[in-house]
Amino acid sequence: MATAYHNLSSYNAESIPNGEDMKIGIVVSEWNEKITGAMLDGAYKTLVKHGVKEENILIDFVPGSFELIFGAKHLVENSSIDAIITIGCVVRGDTPHFDYVCSGVTQGIADMNIRYDIPFIFGLLTTDTMQQAEDRAGGKHGNKGDECAITALKMIDFYRRNLAE
């Protein structure tokens, strides 16, 4: 488990770009709401901490993790934003449904990164147990939402620096 070696909320604050002129969308799955709500809270607070204005954080909800793809596509096509963070949580069950959802969302978000000229941040927790999800949504392994926010800020900065060259 890679998270055992790195806390999701641990980063060097001095290396994070200032987000004061950034506009970021967040699409959140309502499924496993306790987990995704904690991840959203982490992402939102981290963005604000690093200068993103509250009015420049657009949040919308979709029913489940598979719908994150459509939600992200809709948001990018109907808003002027610099990055989209997708937040979801799929916990393994007794059927292959877990594999299909995780694979579909992974491929869908990867496709968004190719199709559009902004970064789409993959914030889908894929865990074997609810405890593992809780550990990664503000628990002992930090908060994946924090990590997603930092990734969004860094990727917007990456894009802007390389656009200028």
Q: State yes or no: pLDDT of 90 exceeds 60.
A: yes
123 within domain boundaries: yes
5 within domain boundaries: no
CATH number of residue 152's parent domain: 3.40.50.960
pTM: 0.93
Which pLDDT belongs to residue 13? 81
Record the tokens describing residue 41, joined without a space.
């809270």
51 within domain boundaries: yes
Q: State yes or no: pLDDT of 44 exceeds 90.
A: yes
12 within domain boundaries: no
Q: State yes or no: pLDDT of 30 exceeds 60.
A: yes
Which pLDDT belongs to residue 98? 85
Domain span at residue 50 reads 22-164
Which pLDDT belongs to residue 132? 95
Distance CA 47, CA 56 (A): 10
Which pLDDT belongs to residue 8? 67
Q: State yes or no: pLDDT of 2 exceeds 70.
A: no
2 within domain boundaries: no
Question: Mean per-residue pLDDT for 15-42?
Answer: 97
Q: How confident is the model at residue 4 (pLDDT cuts 50, 70, 90)?
A: low
Distance CA 81, CA 58 (A): 9
How high is the mean pLDDT of the chain?
93
Q: State yes or no: pLDDT of 11 exceeds 90.
A: no
Please name the residues in contact with 38: beta carbons below 8 A apart, sequence gap of 6 or more.
Answer: 137, 138, 143, 145
Which pLDDT belongs to residue 12? 82
Nearest to 155 by CA among 2, 7, 47, 37: 47
Q: Which of 6, 50, 97, 141 is catalytic?
A: 97
39 within domain boundaries: yes
14 within domain boundaries: no
Q: State yes or no: pLDDT of 21 exceeds 70.
A: yes
Is 50 designated active site?
no
